[in-house]
Amino acid sequence: MVYVEDTYGVEFHRVLLEKLAESKVLQSSNLRPVIRRMPAKKCNQALYKKIMGYLIRYQDWRVLIVIDSEHRGAKEAAESDVLRHFRRWRDRVKVAVVEPMHEAWLCIGLCGSPRRCRNDPIGELSHRLGRPYEKRYLARLAKEIDINKLRGEHDFEKYVEQLNWLLGIS
């Protein structure tokens, strides 16, 4: 199970998974996790209760929660905001942190400068699109991402590593 922060992120990650499987970056191209929107803000006890309420009926489960760092400095701060709710299940829950937000991956994947895409993803996307970027573009533009442009980006590589863990491959 993959949980993401917003509605547009669900389709964005579906497209990324397809691209990762096609390009053989994921070690298994035939396994696909279920992707759902997070039921609450990332630092909220309701997140834990709702996710556990859904998963507890399964004997063997794993969860990857994908969040934005939102310029909070160290990615560890964003990660610990989520993991503190899952202390009992630390071996079954991983958090992937996108620095600073999903739009950075979109921007880099569309061949933008990684430095500019990390510093101001919305501004850089707006510049590249020739019009103001809107959140609803996230999933649609994901289809144009070049996965190879994201390879080597530390947070994206960690995401791929965690996807392989989620699928039981690593």
Tell me the pLDDT tens digit for each residue of 6-60.
889 999 999 999 999 888 888 766 678 889 998 766 667 777 888 888 787 877 8
Q: Which DSSP category does 25 fall into?
A: -
Q: How far apart, in whole angstroms, are the C-alpha atoms of residue 46 and residue 39? A: 8
pLDDT of residue 77: 79
Q: Residue range 149-168: average pLDDT?
A: 94
**What whole-number distance in Å separates Cα of residue 51 and Cα of residue 61?**
11
pLDDT band of residue 72 (cuts 50, 70, 90) is: low
Q: Rounded distance, CA 20 to CA 6, Å? A: 21
Residue 83, pLDDT score: 87
Dist CA 81 CA 62 (whole Å): 18
Closest CA to 85 of 35, 32, 38: 38
Average pLDDT, the chain: 89
| CA gap 122, 139 in Å, rounded | 15
Using alpha carbons, select from 117, 109, 42, 45 the residue that is nearest to residue 77: 42
Where do the domains of the chain lie? 2-166
pLDDT surpasses 70 at 159 = yes
Token pair of 169 as six digits: 């491959």
What confidence score (pLDDT) does residue 58 get?
A: 79
